[in-house]
Structure 1
C-alpha cells in the first residue's frame, strides 16, 4: 500500500485497515519504525470525513512539533491547546498534552461529543510514576463513542494491556505489533580510554584496568608492557572513530546538563575538532545567525560561545537552555549540519530527530535518590534514535563504560532485548476524587475496579493465592514435634519451652544489670559488707531462675534438637505464609483505603458532605495540581490581601520543588513573609489531616528559594538580571515561570464570575508572560508562514469553557 508516496510496512497497513474499520487500535513498534504515519492517516481520514480528532503528546515540545508539522500541511484546520499556548482552540484537529485531555473529560465531557478519534502518542507513558495515572484516567473516563489510536514503543505485556483497555471501552480494539526495526542496530560498548568491544570483553578489560591502576600507585615510573588487548577489540578514541567510519551524525546522550556542555566544549575548545567542511561551516553559521535574529536571542549569554560550537558541527541540548535556543539547535540538527549533539534523555521522547549513531556517555544515571543503571526500556527508547530510515542501512549504538567499575550482569540486563512490562500507576488526585465523587458518590470505590492497576492486581493476587495454597499444603506435610510424655502436645510443649526459656533469660539479663549497679553503688570500703550481702541476694535469684529453667519437660530430652528443628521449620513457613497473606490483603485493599483516606481529609476540610460537593469542593474539582492548597488560600482571602507581584511570589513558592544545591537571595519583605508563614500554617493543617488518615503522599510546604526572582521579574527586571536572585539555568527560570502561568490560568478559569479577582489574576499573568517566557510568541515566531497566521488579540482571555479543552494542564515537567 502506498501512502504519501511511501510503500507502507505490514504493521502500518494493518493499523490503517483497523482505522478504516472504525475500531480502536494499539500499535507497538520499535522507536523509529514509522508509527507516526498511522497517526497522520487517522488525522487525514477525520479531515476528509469532517470529524474532529485530538492528538495528545506526553511533552509540550512534541505537541509543538506536531502542531508545526500539521499546520504546514493543513493550515487553519489545526489548533493547539497546552498550558503555555492556546491557538485556534476550535480547530478540527487539536494538539494537546494528555493532561489537557483528561481535564476536559472532568470539566465538561460534552465538549468531546463531536470528537471521533483521540491519538495517544507514546502511550507507554502510562508506566510513568508521576504522570501515568493521567493516561489511565483518560482511557477509563473518555466518552465511549471515542476511538483511540495508541502508539507506543515495544510493550512486552501488550496483550494483557489490550485486554484491560477493552474491558473499559465499548468499541473493539485491535492490536498491531511490530518487533523488527526497518534499520537494524549494531550495539557496542566503548571502554573509556581503551576502545570498542562488547560484553565478552568486560572481564579482560576490567582486570587490565585494575592492574594498571595498581602499577601506577605502587610504581608510577614502571613502563613495563601489560597484556595485549584481545584481537577482536578495536583500540581507538570514540568520536574520531565515528568521523573516520562515516557514522555521523550522532546523538550523544549524557545524563547531566553539565556533562553535555563540558563534552561539547572539550572537543571544540580543547581538541579543536572540526566535523564540517568549509562550505558546511558557512551554511550552518548562516542558518544559526538567521535563527538567532528570528528568535531575538542574538544578545543572550553563551550565544557567541555556542556559535563557535556549531561552526564545528557540534552542539548541546538540555532542559536548562532557553527554549528558543533549544529550538534553534533542533532546526540545525534537522538540517543535517550538526554532526554531534550532546543531549539529555528528553531528546529521545517522541521528537522526530533520528541520527546515524547513538552514544551513551554512561549506562548509569542519577534518578533523584541515587545512581542506578538504566532500565532496558530507557536504553532502547534512546538507542532507537539511531538509524535513519531511507538513509542508513545500519544504525550504530555505543555505550561508554569505565572498565574498572563495569558490572557485566547489570550491563547485560540494560542492553538485553527483554524490556520491562508496563505497570499501572493509577493514583487518583484530590481533584479527580472530587470529580468522581460528584458523579458516583459512595460508589467511587467501584471506579478502582476499572483501573489497569486492579486488572494487573487480579493477576498478582491469583499468583499469590497459588503460592499461599502451595505453602499451606507444604505446612500440612511438615512433621510436627512429638513429645515422649503421654498426653502432651509436642508443638505446644516446645513453644511453651522456648517462651519460658526466653522469659527466664530476660530476667537473668536484668539481674546482671543489677549486679553492675550494686558494684557501682558500693565501691567504698565501708560498704563492703553491704556489697557482699546484696550481690549474694542477686546471685541466689539467678540460681533459682536457672533451676526453674531446668524443670522444663524438654530440658535434657534427647529429642529436643529434633523437636526444635521441626518447630523452627514450621514457624518459618508460617511466617512466610503470613507475609503472602498480608501482601495479598495490601494489594486488594490499599488503593481503596487511599481513596477513603483522601475523602476523609476532604470531608474534614469542608469540601464534601452527604455525597455532594460543597463550594470548596466544587472549586478544588476544577483545579488540577495543588488543588487543596489553592482552594484553602482562595477561601481564606489570601489572593485579595496580596498584590499581583506578591501573588506570583506565592504561586512560585507553591509549585517549586525543594532544591538544596541552588543559591538564592533571601526574601526580606516582612509583611509578605508573615503572609507566607500563614500559608504554611494552612498547609500544616492539611498535612496533619493527611497524617491522621494515613494518606501516603503528603502535601508539601512552600519553597521560598525563587520568591525574590519572581518578585523581581513581576516588577519588570530584565531576564539576564534574574541570576542575581537565584543561580538557576535560563531554561529552569522559563519552565518555572510558565508553570506559574499554568496555575494562574486554572485559578482564573475556576473563579469566573468573580470579576475583580479574575481581572487581578489576568494582571498577574501579564506581569510574567513577557519576553522569553511567552511560549505562544515562540511558537508563532517558529511558524514558517507566520504572516499568514490569523492572530488572536488576547490569548490569555480565550474562554476555555467554550473551547475544545481547558486552558491548562496539571503542572508537570512538560516544558522541557
Structure 2
C-alpha cells in the first residue's frame, strides 16, 4: 500500500537525536523507516534528504549491512568521504568499478550498476564464472539507499535502477531519495505493487531557503551617456540585479520584456571579459559569494574562468589557498607527476585568486581539490577559498556543496545531436544549489543576458515554473538482460517482466485505450460496399506500382455499378459522416493490438536472434522461452552476459573470433579503443587508412566495424527496434596506441587537444575492458592471450593515469 505524507507533521513526538528542528518530510520519513516501510523521499535540492538516509545507517539492524547507491562514481567517492568523517564509529567501504575498498564494511557505497551486477551474478547458475566480491546482498543487507533515484528516467542508464529494484528480495528495506518529480504517486504505486511492505511517500515542494531569479547586465559607458534618453531608467538595469521572478514564483513579464529590448538595442561591443569582471566585482561587494557560474560547455568553462582578472581572495586568503592546494595535492601518491601537468599551472594560478573551473575533462584529483576548497574545513569551521566556480551541469548532480548564488552563461545545452533549451527539472537542479540552509536567508539565481539570446517569455516561464520530470520506465528487454535472466534459472523472464514499471505502464495504457474504445459509438451498419467503392476509385498501391489506363477504366466501371445500386447514395452519405469515427476506432484498436503483444514479441525476436547467432544453443527449443534454462546458453552467451563496459555482442565476437590473438599489448589497446566514444578537440574524424597504428591491425578493425553493421542489419531484418548502441569509433585509436607504447602524458594532451580528465577516464575504461579480456580468455582456455593482456595494466595505468581519489584516502 502507498501511504502519502505531504502534510504538516501532526504529533508532538520529539526527535532527540537532532539538535535542530526537522522538516516535516524528514519526520515522516524517519517514522516510516522506524516502522520498516519502504520510503520514497521527494524534495527540492539541498532540502536535507541525506539526513533520512543517515538515520537508517545509524539505526541499521544488528549484524546487517547498508548499501548506499549513487548514479556516478564521483558522487560515490564524495558520499564515502562525507560519511566516513561524519560517523567515525561506523565502518564504510566503497565499490565503483575503479575503486574497491573495505567491502566487508557496515555501509558500502557503490554505483547502481555495481549493485545490479551483484544481484544478477549471485543468482546466475554456472560454474564458468567466479564472484569478485563476496558480498551477498540477499542475506547480508538490511536496507538499500538509492540516492538520486529519479535517474530511473535517464535514457541510457535508467533501466539499471528498474532492474535493481525488481531484483531485490522482499525483506530488504528501500530508502529512495529523489529531486522533486511530477506525480510521484505513480512511481510509489508501482513500488507498492511489487513489494510486500508498505511504501511511504514523504514529499514537499517547499525550499528551505527561498529562491529569487534575477538578470545581471552591463552596458558600455558611452551607451549609458548617449542613449539612456531613449530608454528611461536604463541605470536601473546596469550592473545590478533585476528581479524577473520572486520567491513566491511571481514572474514579472514587463521587466523581462524590457531586458529583452535592452538586449536587442544596447548590448553592443561589450566584451565577455568586461561582463565577467563586472559580475564578479558586484558579487564580491554584495557579499554573494561563493557563486557557481554554470557554463554548459567544457571549453567555455576554462576560457571564461581565465577572463576574470579580479581576485576574490584577499592577500591572506591567496597565500592560504596556495598552501591548501599544495597540501591536498601532496596527499596524492602521484604528486611528482601531477605538478608537471600543464593543467596544474593553469588551475593553481586561478585558485590563488579564488577562481576555478570544474567539468568532466578536468583531471580528477584537481577536481576533487576544487570541490573541497569550495567549502573547506578548518578546525570544524567551513570556509570558501574557491569563491567563483565555472562549472558544467554535472556539478549539480548530487555533490552536496550549496552556494549563495548561481549564474548562467547560457540556457541551451547540446543533447542528442541538437541544441535545446534547458528543461525545468535541469534548471531546478542547478538553481537548487543556491541558498545554504542555516546560513542564507535567500538564494540567488542569476541570468547573464549579455552572453546569449534570451528565450521567449513563454519559454522562460516554462524553464522557471514548468512541471518537474515525470518518472517513467526506460526499461526495454535487450540481449544481455535475456541472457542474464535465463542464466539465473527456469521461468525467470515472465515474473520479471510482470513486475516491471514498463509492464505497468503498458497495462495502464491498455486500460485507457479500452475505455476510449467504449466511448466510440458507431451505428451498426454494413459499410463494406462504401469501402469497396473508395478502394476502386483510390486503390492503395506501392509507390512504385502504377495502374494501366485499362485497369483504371475497369475500376471506374465497377465503381459506377456500385454507385447505381439502389440506396447506395444515402448509405454513402452516412458513411462519410461516420468515416472519421471509424478510423479513430481502428486506430485505437491497432494501438491496443500493438500494446498487447509488445513485450512478448520483443523478447521472442531477441531470443530468435540470439539462437541464430549461437548465443543460445542450436538444439534449444525457443518456442516457449519461459522453459529456457542455464544449459541452453552457449559459451558465447555466458561471455556476453558478463560484459558491462562496452557492447557485449561486439566484445564477444571480438574474443571468440580471435581478433586479439598474436598481438602485442599496445596493439590490443588499439583494438579495444574502438569502444571509446571520446574524440580529440581537432574535430577531425580519421579513416582506417589514415590511422598511424601498425597496418596488420587494420583488417581486424574493419572486420569489427563490419560485425557491428551486420548485427544492426540483422536487428532490422527481425524488425527488432530496441535502442542498442552499435557504434564503434576510430577517434581515439592512435593516441591510445601511443599511450600504451609509452608516450608522455602532456605531449599526448597537447598533440591531440585532449581534456586530461576525459583521457584518464577513457584509459581506465580500456583497462576495465582488458580485465574482461583476461577473465574471458581464461574461460576460453587461451593462456597466450591471458599472458599478454595481464601485462597491459602496468603499461597504461601509470604516471598521471590512475584510479586514485583523495576522497577515499583513509
- When the two structures are superposed, what TM-score results if normalisation uses the length of structure 1? 0.80
Quick one: distance in 2 between partners of 1:658 and 1:594? 34
Q: Secondary structure at the match of 1:25?
A: strand
Quick one: distance in 2 between partners of 1:368 and 1:547? 50
Query: Structure 2, unaligned stretches of length 5 or more?
Result: 1-14, 124-134, 220-236, 245-251, 270-276, 377-383, 621-627
The answer on 1:258 being equivalent to 2:307 is no
Displacement after TM superposition at 1:563 (Å)? 8.4
Quick one: distance in 2 between partners of 1:33 and 1:420? 18
Q: Secondary structure at the match of 1:772?
A: coil
Displacement after TM superposition at 1:98 (Å)? 0.3
Quick one: distance in 1 between partners of 2:496 and 2:374? 46
Quick one: distance in 1 between partners of 2:33 and 2:144? 12
CA contact (8 A) 1:608 1:617 kept: yes
Alignment equivalent of 2:312, drawn from 254, 275, 287: 275
CA contact (8 A) 2:263 2:449 kept: no
Q: Who is 1:740 aligned against? A: 766
The answer on 1:342 being equivalent to 2:390 is yes
Q: Who is 2:285 aligned against? A: 244
Quick one: distance in 2 between partners of 1:614 and 1:49? 42
Quick one: distance in 1 between partners of 2:612 and 2:369? 51
Displacement after TM superposition at 1:567 (Å)? 4.6
5 Å-filtered alignment, 1:2-81, equals 2-3=16-17, 5-46=19-60, 49-72=62-85, 73-74=87-88, 77-81=91-95
Displacement after TM superposition at 1:311 (Å)? 2.6
Q: Secondary structure at the match of 1:464?
A: helix
Displacement after TM superposition at 1:494 (Å)? 5.9
Quick one: distance in 2 between partners of 1:583 and 1:409? 33
Comparing 675-684 and 243-252, the one that deviates more: 675-684
Alignment equivalent of 2:641, drawn from 617, 621, 625: 621
Quick one: distance in 1 between partners of 2:683 and 2:552? 62
Quick one: distance in 2 between partners of 1:710 and 1:404? 40
5 Å-filtered alignment, 1:598-613, equals 598-609=606-617, 610=620, 611=628, 612-613=632-633
CA contact (8 A) 1:76 1:88 kept: no
The answer on 1:667 being equivalent to 2:704 is no
Q: 1:670 to 1:202 in 2, by over 3 A?
A: farther
The answer on 1:321 being equivalent to 2:362 is yes
Quick one: distance in 2 between partners of 1:442 and 1:614? 18
Quick one: distance in 1 between partners of 2:393 and 2:264? 34
Q: Secondary structure at the match of 1:771?
A: coil
CA contact (8 A) 1:122 1:350 kept: yes
The answer on 1:639 being equivalent to 2:639 is no
Quick one: distance in 2 between partners of 1:275 and 1:724? 31
Q: 1:550 to 1:38 in 2, by over 3 A?
A: closer
Q: Who is 2:118 aligned against? A: 104
Displacement after TM superposition at 1:141 (Å)? 0.8
Q: Who is 2:6 aligned against? A: none
Q: Secondary structure at the match of 2:287?
A: coil
Q: Who is 1:205 aligned against? A: 258
The answer on 1:399 being equivalent to 2:447 is yes
Q: Who is 1:330 aligned against? A: 371
Q: 1:740 to 1:204 in 2, by over 3 A?
A: same
Q: 1:686 to 1:171 in 2, by over 3 A?
A: same
Displacement after TM superposition at 1:582 (Å)? 2.6
Quick one: distance in 1 between partners of 2:201 and 2:707? 49
Displacement after TM superposition at 1:178 (Å)? 2.5
Q: Who is 1:801 aligned against? A: none
Displacement after TM superposition at 1:565 (Å)? 7.5
5 Å-filtered alignment, 1:346-385, equals 346-385=394-433
Comparing 735-744 and 679-688, the one that deviates more: 679-688
Quick one: distance in 2 between partners of 1:649 and 1:15? 51
Q: 1:377 to 1:308 in 2, by over 3 A?
A: same
Quick one: distance in 1 between partners of 2:315 and 2:465? 42
Displacement after TM superposition at 1:455 (Å)? 1.4
Q: 1:6 to 1:729 in 2, by over 3 A?
A: same
CA contact (8 A) 1:39 1:119 kept: yes
Quick one: distance in 1 between partners of 2:489 and 2:763? 37
Quick one: distance in 2 between partners of 1:276 and 1:725? 35
Displacement after TM superposition at 1:657 (Å)? 6.1
Q: 1:96 to 1:469 in 2, by over 3 A?
A: same
Displacement after TM superposition at 1:70 (Å)? 2.6
Quick one: distance in 2 between partners of 1:544 and 1:737? 71
Q: Secondary structure at the match of 2:748?
A: helix
Q: 1:493 to 1:18 in 2, by over 3 A?
A: closer
Q: Who is 2:796 aligned against? A: 768
Comparing 136-145 and 441-450, the one that deviates more: 441-450
Displacement after TM superposition at 1:364 (Å)? 1.9
Q: 1:304 to 1:635 in 2, by over 3 A?
A: closer
Task: Give the CA RMSD over aligned residues.
Answer: 3.6
Q: Who is 1:652 aligned against? A: 673
Displacement after TM superposition at 1:287 (Å)? 1.7
Query: Structure 1, unaligned stretches of length 5 or more?
Result: 221-235, 481-488, 515-537, 790-816
Q: Who is 2:325 aligned against? A: 288
Quick one: distance in 2 between partners of 1:120 and 1:606? 37
Q: Who is 2:584 aligned against? A: 576
CA contact (8 A) 1:79 1:89 kept: yes
Which protein has greater RCO, CA pairs closer than 8 Å, 6+ apart? 1
Quick one: distance in 1 between partners of 2:63 and 2:495? 37
Displacement after TM superposition at 1:679 (Å)? 2.7
Q: Who is 1:435 aligned against? A: 484
Q: Who is 2:707 aligned against? A: 682
Q: Who is 1:452 aligned against? A: 501
Q: Who is 1:807 aligned against? A: none
Q: Secondary structure at the match of 1:599?
A: helix
Q: Deviations over 1:318-375 (max 9, x none)?
A: 1111111211211211221222111001101110111011122222211132111222
Displacement after TM superposition at 1:626 (Å)? 1.8
Quick one: distance in 2 between partners of 1:176 and 1:419? 17
CA contact (8 A) 1:663 1:726 kept: no
CA contact (8 A) 1:445 1:592 kept: no
Q: Who is 1:526 aligned against? A: none
CA contact (8 A) 1:184 1:395 kept: yes
Q: Who is 1:794 aligned against? A: none
Quick one: distance in 2 between partners of 1:498 and 1:104? 61
Comparing 602-611 and 91-100, the one that deviates more: 602-611
Structure with greater helix share of residues: 1
- When the two structures are superposed, what TM-score results if normalisation uses the length of structure 2? 0.80
Quick one: distance in 2 between partners of 1:577 and 1:165? 33
Comparing 695-704 and 654-663, the one that deviates more: 654-663
Q: Who is 1:467 aligned against? A: 516
Q: Who is 1:186 aligned against? A: 212
Q: Who is 1:521 aligned against? A: none
Quick one: distance in 1 between partners of 2:448 and 2:530? 59
CA contact (8 A) 1:133 1:428 kept: no
Displacement after TM superposition at 1:634 (Å)? 2.1
Q: 1:592 to 1:302 in 2, by over 3 A?
A: same
Quick one: distance in 2 between partners of 1:90 and 1:138? 21
Quick one: distance in 2 between partners of 1:441 and 1:243? 65
CA contact (8 A) 1:202 1:408 kept: no
Quick one: distance in 2 between partners of 1:497 and 1:636? 59
Q: 1:636 to 1:564 in 2, by over 3 A?
A: same
